[in-house]
Amino acid sequence: MEICVHRILVQNAYFKSVNKNNYIHISDHELLSNFYIDRNKEWLGILLSRYTLLLFGVCMKYLKNEEDAKDAVQQIFLKAINELEKYEITYPKSWLYKVACNYCLMKLRGAKINKPLTEDLLLNEPLDENEDIQIREHNLNNLTNSLQELNNDQKSCITLFYLEKNSYQEITEKTGFSLLQVKSHIQNGKRNLKILIEKKQIVE
């Protein structure tokens, strides 16, 4: 895997000229802030390189093929750079994770759609494979949309805790909330998220 990840990084032009070790002390937020100030894409190269393993792991989970996963990471890098030039992102790690999941699900769905519908294919193909992909994509969209409907405090704490894997203490330091407030926002946010998702499923 290390060789594969190295190849991914080398292939990306924005990563070639950057000595990432010089920027270890700079947070993701600072890298994005620097980019939004001077529009130097090297800042994005440093940021994206930090999550190569995460993106590769997500792509391998969905695509089950090393070469396909490697190509997917390249496409996700390009998509991320394009999107980050247009919009300001607050939580890059969770955002990149969502972009990778959506890309892989769309790729899988496209592969299914583009297969010729021959009699042999219809007879031999597992019946629940496409349904499983659609369910995962549907659930992911429901979760993403429901998360956006939470109030800002709950959304922030849920994102930091579950998607960015921060500890309670780290969240208090990043948000200024007390430990009790962080636990309350996460608990209430989790409950409200479940209610929102269930409502969407009832409507559908």
Tokens of 152: 């800002």
- Condensed to tens digits (0 to 9), the pLDDT of residues 148-173 reads 889 999 989 988 887 777 889 999 99
- CATH (one of 3.40.50.2300, 1.10.3080.10, 3.20.20.70, 1.10.1740.10) for 1-114: 1.10.1740.10
The answer to whether the pTM exceeds 0.85 is no
- Condensed to tens digits (0 to 9), the pLDDT of residues 112-144 reads 544 443 333 333 333 344 445 555 566 666 777
Question: Distances from the Cα of 37 to the Cαs of 22, 32, 33, 160, 165, in angstroms?
Answer: 20, 9, 6, 25, 28
Topology, domain 132-204: Arc Repressor Mutant, subunit A (1.10.10)
pLDDT at 7: 47
Phi then psi for residue 150, to 5 deg, are -70, 160
Tokens of 14: 């924005």
Q: How deeply is 11 buried, as exposed, middle or buried, from its count of CB atoms within 10 A (0-12, 13-18, 19+)?
A: middle
pLDDT, greater one: 180 or 118: 180
For the chain, residues classed under CATH 1.10.1740.10 are 1-114
The three-class DSSP label of residue 128 is: coil
